Structure 1
C-alpha cells in the first residue's frame, strides 16, 4: 500500500490522501491506512503507549457524507455514551472542497477553494500553486514519480497474487500491511524482498510483529 503523503512532526504522524472521485468504502480505506501507519510506528514488543498521535486526512473535491460540512472530524466513541471518547488519539479528517465557503478558518477556506476551483488567492494556496508549477516543469521529477507509480502498482499486483496463493482471505491484507509499513519506513529494498521472497517475507513479519 502506498500513502500519498506521510509526514512526521511534533510527536504526530500524518497520512494525507487526495480523493477526486467518489469512494463508496471511504471509511474502510481510512481504517486500512490507519492500520498501516500504526504497524509502522510501533516496534515489536513496544508498549501501546508508544504509539504517536496520528491523523488520516482525506482532501475530497466533493461532499463525501452529504451534510454540507467543510470538514468532518471522525473519532471513535462509545455508542451508548457519545460523550465518552475512546482516547485512541487517531482522528480521521475528511475535507469537503465543495463547501469551502462555509469554512470559518481562513487557511482551510483558502486551500479548499484552491482544490475546488484551481484559483490561488491566499498565501498558502499561492505557495502550493507555485510549487505545483515548479515540479510540473521538472520532467526528471515527473518521470521519477510516474516510474514509482508503475513500480508500486506492479508490487501491489504481485502482493495480491501472493496473498491469494497463501490460500486465506487475510493473506492479502497481511502482506499489504507489511508493504505499507516498510514503505512508511523508507525500506524500499525490503519491500521488493517481501513480495518476491517468501522466506524473507516471513522474517519481516516476525521482525515487525505482523
Structure 2
C-alpha cells in the first residue's frame, strides 16, 4: 500500500472511520460502486442472468469502466462489459443520475462497440450478439413496469426481425411481475450488507466485502481518492480552457487556485496532517515550498 493510501485509509483512525461510514452508505445505484461489485464474475453473472431471463448463461469474462477511444468523435466508457461462453456480449449501464436520451445513448454505445468488435475486412456476420441493459431511475418509456425488452418489428406485420442487438431498459420506479427481477431492482436501491437471498447471493457477498471487510473498504477508499483527484484535475483543466477565452494568464491562475483550494480542503477534511499535505501540494501542482506554504496559509484555516 502506498504512503498516500495509508494516510487516506489506515493511519488516521478518525479519517478511516469517516470514510468507512461513507462507503457503507453506497448503493448499487452509484456507478462507482456498481462497477466494483460487478467486476466480480459471479456477481455479474447473477445480474445478467436475472435481467435477461437466461438462467443458464455463463459469464467467462468481465471488464468494468471499459473505454472505447474515438480519435475524431466522442469516446465512451462502459460501466460493465461481459462476454459469455457463447461469445455473446453484454453491456450493463447504471444511469440513474443521468437525465439524458437513454435510447440515443444506447444507440451510440452499440455503434461504438460494433466498431471496436469488427476488424477491418471481416464480414458483418462476425459481429457478436449484443445485449444492452440500461438501468435508470425513472420509467422514461412510460410502460409502468420495472423492465422493458425492445424488439425490432416490421410495421403492420408484427414480425420480429433480428439484427443481433437486444435492448433492455430496467428502472427503479416500478415493480416487476418477475419476482427475481423485482427483488434485484429493489435491492439495488438499498444494498444492505445483511440482506439474505438465494436469488443473487454473490452480489450481496461482494457488497458485504466492499462495505464491511477492511480490504474492501480500503479499495473503495482508494477509488474515492482517485475520483476526488480526478475532479481536481478536471477543475484545473476547465479553468485553463476558460483562460483561453478570458486571457490565458488570468484563466490559468484561476483554474490553478480552484484546484489547489479543493485539494487543500479535501485533505483537511480527511484529517491528513498538514505537513503531509504540504509535500503532496508541491508534487501535485509543481510548487516550491514557499508557494505551497502560501496556499496552505490561505486555505487551511
The alignment status of 1:147 with 2:222, answered yes or no, reads no
Q: How many correspondences in the alignment?
A: 153
Q: Look up the SS of the partner of 2:158 in the other structure.
A: coil
Q: Look up the SS of the partner of 1:2 in the other structure.
A: strand
The alignment status of 1:33 with 2:109, answered yes or no, reads yes
Counterpart selection for 1:4 from 58, 79, 85? 79
CA distance in 1, matches of 2:124, 2:200: 37
Structure 1 residues 145 and 87 mapped into 2: Cα distance closer, same or farther (>3 Å)?
farther
TM-score (norm 2): 0.44
TM-score (norm 1): 0.61
Give the alignment of 1:23-102 within 5 angstroms: 23-78=99-154, 80-100=155-175, 102=176
Q: Is the 8 A contact 1:61 1:96 kept in 2?
A: yes
Structure 1 gaps, min length 5: 162-210
1:103 corresponds in structure 2 to: 177
Identify which of structures 1 and 2 has the higher relative contact order when contacts are C-alpha pairs closer than 8 Å and 6+ apart.
1
Q: How much has 1:147 moved relative to structure 2?
A: 3.2
Structure 2 gaps, min length 5: 1-75, 242-301
**Cα deviation 1:24-58 (Å, max 9, x = unaligned):** 31111100111121112111111000111111101
2:291 corresponds in structure 1 to: none
1:193 corresponds in structure 2 to: none
2:268 corresponds in structure 1 to: none
Q: Look up the SS of the partner of 1:132 in the other structure.
A: helix
After superposition, the CA RMSD in angstroms is 2.9
Counterpart selection for 2:94 from 13, 18, 32? 18
Q: Is the 8 A contact 1:22 1:64 kept in 2?
A: no
Structure 1 residues 4 and 82 mapped into 2: Cα distance closer, same or farther (>3 Å)?
farther
Q: Look up the SS of the partner of 2:203 in the other structure.
A: helix
